[in-house]
Structures are given as C-alpha cells and as structure tokens.
Amino acid sequence: MKHTLDTAGVDHLVGFWLAVADVPGRRVFRQHIGQPFELKPVEFTLLMLLLVNPGVSPKQLVPALRVPAPQVTLLVDRLAQRELVERRRNARDGRALHLMLTAKGQALAEKVHRLSLGMEQDWLQVLSPGERVMLRELLMKLTRASAD
C-alpha cells in the first residue's frame, strides 16, 4: 500500500499548491501568534493595518481584509471588547468611523509584529534565502496585479 499518493492529476495547478501550502502557513501563525495571543489571522492583519494606517474606516477594511462589511463589524466588536481597538466618530460625517489602536492595542500590535518577523524561518528552511524572497515577490506580484 502506497503511503504517498500520486498527485500527477493536479501537479500543473498553481492554485492547488497554493491551497496546500496555506495549511502549514496557517499552522505557523497559530503556533507563534494565534494561540499565545488569542488572535485569528484576520484579527492579526487588522492590528497590522491599524499600526501603519491609523484611523481607517470599516469601509476601507472591507476590500483590504477581503471580508464582507458585517464581518468587519463583528471583528471590531471583539477587538474593542478586549480594549485593543476603539471606534471614533468622524467629525464631518456622522455615519463614518475611524478605527484606532488603544495604548494596549498598540503595545500588542508592536509585540506580535516583532514576533512575526522571524516566525516563518523554520517553515521556509528548505528554501534558500533567495528562493524565499523570490516566492514572496511572485505572490505579491500576482496579487498586486489583480483587483485589490
């Protein structure tokens, strides 16, 4: 009995290998950041976006996080309840919100960002430094080309 199946039927598909590689990629995140700090990938991403783009609106997060508007509301609810993020009313437009990191949120965001810088090393060890850069740049090129 074979222990590894022949994947010849899907070997030609970038999408297949992308989906497969995503599994250990998510595990790396979970082990280094997700579990220790109780952050889901999308929550981590939101913190990272707020670190660099303070004051963005939920409306702007919909395309950036690739998540529908109602989910952004729930996402911000959770982070606001943990006092990591706060909602501020837009002074000119009473409908719109500005999202800001609290002091606590800022500290956490900086900490997990620092941790994230080295967390993928083991996972990517099989690739040379040049290959890692190449892989990331090809993925970025692919994404930046399509509708962001």
SS3 147: coil
And the tokens for 26? 């998510």
d(CA 59, CA 55): 12
CB of 78 to its own copies, least distance (A): 19
Identify the residue among 17, 69, 104, 115 touching its own copies (CB under 8 A). 17
Q: Which of residues 69-98 bind its own copies (CB under 8 A)?
A: none
- Which amino acid makes up residue 27? R
| Site string (94-133) toward its own copies, x via CB under 8 A | ---------------x---x--xx--x--xxxxx---xx-
**Of 50, 43, 17, which is closest to residue 29 (Cα–Cα)?**
43
Give 37's contacts (C-beta < 8 A, 6+ positions apart).
108, 111, 112
CB of 24 to DNA, least distance (A): 12
Partner that binds at residue 76, options DNA, its own copies, none, CB closer than 5 to 8 Å by kind = DNA
Site map for DNA, 25-64, x if CB under 7 A?
---------------x-x--------------xxx-----
Please say which residue, 103 or 147, places its beta carbon nearer to its own copies.
147
Cα–Cα dist 148/44, whole Å? 19
Question: For 37-126, where are the E strands, in sequence order?
Answer: 85-89, 97-101
Q: What is the dihedral of CA 10, 14, 17, 22, to 10 degrees?
A: -140
- Chain residues binding its own copies by CB under 8 A are 1-26, 28-29, 41, 45, 47-49, 51-53, 56-57, 60-61, 64, 66, 109, 113, 116-117, 120, 123-127, 131-132, 134-136, 138-143, 145-146, 148
- Chain residues binding DNA by CB under 7 A are 40, 42, 57-59, 67-74, 76-77, 87, 92-97
